[in-house]
Amino acid sequence: MTPIFEIILESEGGKDLTALIADRLISMTITDEVELSSDRLEIVLDDRDMALAVPAHGATLAVSLAAQKGQAMTPVGRFVVNSVSLSGPNRTLTIEGNAADLADTKATGLRSAKTRNHGNITLGALTRKIASEHGMKAAIAPDLARVAFTRLAQRAESDLHLITRLARGVDAIAKPVDGVLTVVAKGAVTTASGRDMPAVKVAVDQASNWQWRTTDRDRDRSVSVRWRDTKAGRTHVIVLGAGEPKRDLRRLYASEAEARAAGEAVLKQGGRGQSLELSIAGFGAGLFAGGLMALSDAHPRVDGQWHLKRVEHRLTGALTTSSER
């Protein structure tokens, strides 16, 4: 099977670049991350005759892939060019870009530092407020939307950093995706709207290699959290979980609800304690960071659903998809 790709230059009226670079492609790598670290594109081209035009910074490229001719193309991302390099002695042109969603947010001010008070507010209300201010829609899981903060202050901090920090504190992920500010729990099996997330079935014989690992190292069995009751003038200590090792959170929370949410997030993170890396010799069209993979025929300890935190598609003549959990 010969994999195929399509690259459209959206910033120039949808110009199709595929035929211009098809015989010059050395490699193309698309990295999809569940965390805020931007999804990335790298294209390396043969520039032996110096005939390739150097793309402008800020150009938007839409990339699609298929395992072979005749199959429907699958969009794998829109990227804004932020780095171009030429190298030798074998002349190559390397184009790099970050996800268009994160690049676009710079223009809307989502990354600009602000100082303001939000008062008593839920994570859901804050997500909707920030999304509305930047012309985006909001999507947040109902249980996360109910998390409440007391006297929430934003001090010389961007809206994007604020929502990301608060989400991380309750074991969740905040990320702008296709014009939607999304907040979902790590390892969630439902979407932010509450719908069941479909799992892509992968049999182990589709994998060129795989590795599963589990460790108890650094796993917190219990956590101690403090919160301040300003009316009573007292500091309370809550212990969640049981056993050692025990982590003491240094931050003093403004309410018992915030303290409990932070402690539960620490225990959830420690409870995962296992990882899986798997490479497919071909194109894993339905796999994406934040999605689910249902693995079978590997081992009783390994088979089952996996929540993917990183997916990489790499085309170097052959096409491979690698995923990590």
Assess if residue 191 is contained within a domain. Answer: no
- Whether residues 66 and 159 share a domain: the answer is no
Distance CA 92, CA 47 (A): 5
pLDDT at residue 277 in the model: 92
Within a domain: 301: yes
Antiparallel, parallel or unpaired: β 180-185 and 137-140? parallel
**Is residue 203 domain-shared with residue 301, that is, in the same domain?**
yes
Q: Are residues 30 and 75 in the same domain?
A: yes
Residues 303 and 209 in one domain: yes
Q: Which pLDDT score, from 0 to 100, does residue 271 have?
A: 55
The predicted structure's pLDDT at residue 190:
65
The total of structural domains in the chain comes to 4
Q: Rounded CA gap, 59 and 160, in Å?
A: 23
290 within some domain: yes
Domain identity same for 26 and 66: yes
User: Does residue 193 sit within a domain?
Assistant: no
Does residue 194 lie within any of the structural domains?
no
* Amino acid code (one letter) for 216: D
Q: 141 and 88 in one domain?
A: no
| pLDDT, averaged in runs of 10, over the chain (325 residues) | 84 89 94 78 95 90 89 90 94 93 63 92 96 91 88 92 90 84 78 73 92 74 84 87 81 82 73 80 86 90 86 89 84
Containing domain of residue 320, as a range? 199-215+274-324
pLDDT at residue number 103: 63
Amino acid 139: pLDDT: 92
Entry pTM: 0.75
CATH number at residue 148: 3.55.50.10
pLDDT of residue 8: 95
**Boundary of a domain, candidates 51, 83, 102:** 102
Q: What is the pLDDT of residue 101?
A: 74
- Tokens in use for 134? 């930047």
- Examine the domain organization and report whether 255 and 288 are in the same domain: no
In-domain check, residue 192: no
User: Do 280 and 175 belong together in one domain?
Assistant: no
CATH number reported for the structural domain that contains residue 83 in this entry: 2.30.300.10
Which amino acid type is present at position 234?
A: R
CA distance 34 to 290: 5
Residues 12 and 72 occupy one common structural domain: yes
Q: Is residue 190 part of a domain?
A: no
- Residue 174 near residue 182, CB atoms below 8 Å: yes
My answer on whether 245 and 290 are in the same domain is: no
Contacts of 66 (CB under 8 A, 6+ apart): 3, 4, 5, 72, 73, 74, 283, 285
**262: part of which helix (H) or strand (E)?**
helix 256-272
Residues 205 and 234 in one domain: no
The answer on 94 and 129 residing in a single domain is no
Residue 306 counted as domain residue: yes
* Residue-level pLDDT at 61: 94
d(CA 165, CA 172): 9
Q: At 132, list the tokens.
A: 């509305």
